[in-house]
Amino acid sequence: DGGITQSPKYLFRKEGQNVTLSCEQNLNHDAMYWYRQDPGQGLRLIYYSQIVNDFQKGDIAEGYSVSREKKESFPLTVTSAQKNPTAFYLCASSPGQGTYEQYFGPGTRLTVT
Amino acid sequence: QKEVEQNSGPLSVPEGAIASLNCTYSDRVSQSFFWYRQYSGKSPELIMSIYSNGDKEDGRFTAQLNKASQYVSLLIRDSQPSDSATYLCAVNLRDGNNRKLIWGLGTSLAVNP
């Protein structure tokens, strides 16, 4: 069963703690993306990666970090430097190589108090 | 600044009617255009992609692209209450050697029984 998985679905953390969100895909897609979505707002790109061991900052990368050690996995760490971490985090993947549509995982809702 | 603009709505149509959703974009070199549907609390789901001028039909959905006017639209025929969702328009953009999608803020559609 191919798809994109994100875990956990809900995550609660105390302020000042780093937290890592998981994103895994078995679609053999080259590119992967992380977005955050706040209530009533659009999708904002955090980081993206077109190939293994390479990634680029998106529009709101401050306070976040990523790695792309395997094609299937693109974890996102929300650090304590991120001022407003509470949000809905969405991971997506895209086939790449001239095909640009993105497919999304179910999302992780992070609440930091 | 590359932008994608959509009317936020809400767009309200009666069941069985045609819903028309519009999107304009500012980057003349964009070549790929996508429509996503997002139910409340869920992740976006790809429903249509279009690359060439003209119409593309898939079931009750028709995407229309006019590159000269920088305009892409989505028509939903025989609207059903289950079509009630936010519809996101996305446009592919080259970012150096990379590709990413630029997103509109979405149009909220309500189909009334």
pLDDT in tens, A52-63: 999 999 999 999
Residues of A in contact with B97 (CB under 8 A): 50
| Nearest residue on chain B to A91, alpha-carbon basis | B43
Reported residue count of chain B is 113
CA distances from B98 to A32, B37, B101, B108 (A): 12, 25, 10, 30
Mean pLDDT over residues A19-33, rounded? 96
Mean pLDDT over residues A27-55, rounded? 94
Tokens of A72: 């299937």
Q: Long-range contacts made by residues B25-29, C-beta under 8 angstroms, separation at least 24? A: B25/B70, B25/B71, B25/B72, B25/B89, B25/B91, B25/B102, B26/B1, B26/B2, B26/B70, B27/B2, B27/B91, B27/B93, B27/B102, B28/B67, B28/B70, B29/B94
Q: Considering chain B, what is the average pLDDT of its residues?
A: 93
Query: Which among A57, A32, A69, A34 is positioned nearest to B96, based on CA atoms?
Result: A57
Residues of B in contact with A31 (CB under 8 A): 99
What is the structure's pLDDT at B2?
58
Residues of B in contact with A104 (CB under 8 A): 43-45
Query: Which among B72, B66, B63, B35 is positioned nearest to B53, based on CA atoms?
Result: B66
Q: Round to whole Å and give the CA distance between A106 and A23.
A: 10
Contact between B88 and A50 using a beta-carbon 8 Å cutoff: no
Mean pLDDT over residues A29-34, rounded? 96
**B7 class by beta-carbon count within 10 Å (0-12 exposed, 13-18 middle, 19+ buried):** middle
pLDDT in tens, A65-88: 999 999 999 999 999 999 999 999
Residues of A in contact with B42 (CB under 8 A): 106-107
- The nearest CA of chain A is from the CA of B32 a distance in Å of 7
Q: Considering chain A, what is the average pLDDT of its residues?
A: 94
Hey, of B1, B3, B37, B43, which one would you mutate to test binding to chain A, going by the most A CBs within 10 A of its CB?
A: B43
Query: Which among B1, B22, B13, B9 is positioned nearest to B69, based on CA atoms?
Result: B22
Any CB–CB contact under 8 A between B104 and chain A? Answer: yes
